[in-house]
């Protein structure tokens, strides 16, 4: 996705540096015109390195860098001097970034921690100088090694949002409103589908100066696992969340059916998502009386904890935060 300021997928051409060639040099001085081989080794070609940066939330800064080319290593020198290594290129990426080879689809690196560095594309090794090939029977080798070629190819960087809690629901379920109430985040809120087109993150304060991170993700629709609506652009970000908070509005025609559709879409995309802890919140519940709440509760799945909330009326928010905190901190069975 490359629209707006949130970019979570980038395609770039990478080429690491070629290693420098070794030197085939012989020392000469006034005492000995043929003092022996003293050719130094070539320098290593520059690596392309990924580094985690917790201050970045998007791959926007990579949008206009379609070619990442590292420097070659320098050739070896006389006097057993090794050539300088090619300068490495360090690409800073947000936490949750996955690096892939475009041709094979293989995941080559995964950045999850601040300051974590991974050599993504290795530079070629420098060649050995002729000094390394001297033996008792061949004291004046006239050959050396060339440097190894670097690696090149089209690569992909893909961001999966890192958040403790991910909000899951159909468009207009009240996810953005909830995030704006429980955190300082200011997501766009309007009464039409797909108001949220990109993930929004908010830090939710909790008791005793504790907190957790919540992500408002683009709304899901039936068929999202097949790419409909915002499709995989939405589902990709769910994979990083520890707890999934399903939001179903109180005015839904069939709460159980809506929940079943959401579960089905997650299962089709990645069955492992169903192993995550799930909490179900019925939003916009200020329009319900106790009798209606009881009737709705009887239709909900018995093995999933639920809570009735209203972001507008600030009802059930404290109870919801308690449930989320407990889910985040209880051991996995």
What confidence tens digit (pLDDT) does each residue in 99-127 have?
999 999 899 999 989 999 999 999 999 99
The answer to whether 161 touches 105, Cβ cutoff 8 Å, is no
* pLDDT greater than 80 at residue 240: no
In the prediction, which pLDDT does 177 show? 85
In the prediction, which pLDDT does 223 show? 45
In the prediction, which pLDDT does 179 show? 85
Residue 219 pLDDT grade (very low, low, confident, very high; cuts 50, 70, 90): low
> Measuring CA to CA, which residue among 219, 215, 208, 160 is closest to residue 182?
215
CA angle 215, 251, 260 (to 5 degrees): 65
In the prediction, which pLDDT does 124 show? 96
- Could you tell me the domains of the chain? 9-159 (2.70.210.12), 165-329 (3.40.50.300)
In the prediction, which pLDDT does 34 show? 65
What confidence tens digit (pLDDT) does each residue in 252-308 have?
889 999 899 888 888 887 888 888 899 999 998 988 899 999 999 999 999 899 999
* pLDDT greater than 90 at residue 192: no
pTM > 0.75: no
Helix axes 290-299, 255-269, angle to 10 degrees: 40
């Amino acid at each position: 996705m490359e629209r707006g300021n949130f970019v979570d997928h980038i395609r770039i051409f990478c080429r690491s540096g070629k290693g420098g060639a070794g030197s085939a040099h012989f020392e000469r001085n006034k005492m000995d015109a043929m003092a022996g081989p003293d050719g130094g080794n070539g320098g290593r070609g520059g690596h392309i390195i990924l580094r985690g940066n917790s201050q970045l939330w998007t791959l926007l800064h990579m949008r206009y860098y379609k070619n990442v080319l590292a420097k070659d290593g320098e050739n070896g020198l006389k006097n057993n001097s090794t050539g300088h290594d090619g300068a490495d290129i360090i690409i800073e990426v947000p936490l949750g970034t996955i690096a892939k080879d475009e041709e094979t689809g293989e995941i080559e690196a995964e950045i999850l921690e601040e300051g974590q560095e991974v050599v993504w594309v290795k530079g070629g090794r420098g060649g050995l100088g002729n000094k390394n090939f001297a033996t008792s029977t061949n004291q004046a080798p006239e050959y050396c090694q060339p440097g190894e070629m670097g690696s090149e190819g089209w690569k992909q960087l893909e961001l999966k949002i890192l958040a403790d809690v991910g909000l899951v629901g159909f468009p207009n379920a009240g996810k953005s409103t909830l995030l704006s109430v429980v955190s300082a985040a200011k997501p766009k809120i309007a009464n039409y589908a797909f108001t949220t087109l990109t993930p929004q993150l908010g830090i939710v304060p909790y008791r005793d100066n504790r907190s957790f991170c919540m992500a408002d993700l683009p709304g899901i629709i039936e068929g999202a696992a097949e790419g409909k609506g915002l499709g995989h652009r939405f589902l990709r970000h769910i994979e990083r969340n520890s707890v999934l908070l399903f939001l179903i509005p109180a005015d839904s025609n069939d709460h159980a059916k809506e929940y079943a559709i959401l579960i089905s879409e997650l299962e089709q995309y990645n069955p492992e998502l169903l192993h995550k802890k799930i909490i179900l919140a019925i939003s916009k519940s200020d329009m319900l009386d106790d009798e209606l709440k009881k009737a709705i509760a009887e239709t909900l799945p018995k093995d999933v904890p639920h809570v009735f909330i209203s972001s507008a009326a600030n009802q059930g928010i404290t109870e919801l935060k308690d449930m989320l905190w407990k889910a985040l901190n209880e051991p996995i069975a």
